[in-house]
Amino acid sequence: MWETFKRFVLSASVVVLFVLYAFQKQADTDSAGRAVARVIPTTTIALDDTVPGTSETVAADKPEPTATARVAKALPTKTPTSVAETTAVEEPTSTPTAVTTRKPTATPKPTKEPEPTATPEPEGQYADGTYEGSVEDAHWGDLQVVAIVENGELVDVEFASYPNHRSRSVRINERAMPLLITEALIAQSADVDIVSGATDTSEAFVRSLETALQAAAR
């Protein structure tokens, strides 16, 4: 009876502690004040991996460009005020429309984008355009969303930065260290006790060696 009670108290306290922790984590974020958009650091990683024009590779076997280089090349910084410019980006996942411009997933621009065309602003809760939220700390990395408003309504939310690049950053870090060394073959001294090489099980080889050993036997 007492054992059951002890167990219950222990489990309950764990649950309570966790709830308190969760509240405290949330409080920390709020205590920073209202979120304010700020300049995006250059290490923001674009999620769209298919932007053409990026051709840099770090390692010979796998194309994993570093985060900073990727931003520099992959993300255009021109203002999307015209449809023509948007098509020049050749974003493969979206089609440009006359009303709004569909920007690539991240741009180092802290301010709002204005209505790009001359059509009258439709009635709605929001003004049309693409809006970036602030960069927030999501524990494993930065999180930033981009809200896209069309016809006064929120139609899409994209991620400008997503905190799940931990594995990728680990891989990038690993490649920075010389874990494998490359060299040309160099003949060494033959003063060894034994030689390791690929098994030569061809019958001809074995037969030949057998006769040689027979000749060598005393």
Partner 1 sequence: MIRRTWIQMGMPVTVCIADPSASETDIDAIEELFDAVDARFSTYRPDSEVSRLNAGELEADQVSLELADILAQCEVTKITTGGFFDIERNGAIDPSGLVKGWAIQRGSALLSSRGLRNHLVDAGGDVQVRGLNADGLPWRVGIRNPFDRTQIIKVLSVYDGGVATSGTAIRGEHIYDPFSADSLSTDLVSLTVVGATVYDADRMATAAFAMGRDGIEFIRRQPGLECYAVFRDATAQYTMGFDDYVRYGLRLAGQGAGPDFDVPPGDLLLVRFAGDRFGAGVSR
Alpha carbon 23 to chain centroid distance?
A: 29
Residues in the chain: 218
215 binds partner 1 (CB under 8 A): no
Report the C-alpha gap between 104 and 46 in whole angstroms. Answer: 9
Buried b (16+ CB within 10 A) or exposed e, 178-187: eeeeeeeeee
Site for partner 1 in 160-179 (CB under 8 A): 178-179
3 binds partner 1 (CB under 8 A): no
Choice from 77, 167, 173, 201 touching partner 1 (CB under 8 A): 201
196 binds partner 1 (CB under 8 A): yes
Residues in contact with partner 1, total (CB under 8 A)? Answer: 30
From the list 21-29, 47-55, 100-108, 195-203, the region that binds partner 1 by CB under 8 A is 195-203
194 binds partner 1 (CB under 8 A): yes
For residue 61, the 8-state DSSP code is S
182 binds partner 1 (CB under 8 A): yes
Residue 207 CA neighbour count, 13 Å, CB half: 3
59 binds partner 1 (CB under 8 A): no
193 binds partner 1 (CB under 8 A): yes
- Shortest approach of partner 1 to residue 103 CB, angstroms? 38
- Shortest approach of partner 1 to residue 60 CB, angstroms? 9
195 binds partner 1 (CB under 8 A): yes
**Integer-rounded Cα radius of gyration of the chain:** 31
Q: Are 148 and 133 in contact (CB under 8 A)?
A: no
CA nearest neighbour of 147 among 135, 137, 139, 155: 155
Task: Name the residues that contact partner 1, by CB under 8 A.
Answer: 61, 178-202, 206, 209-210, 213
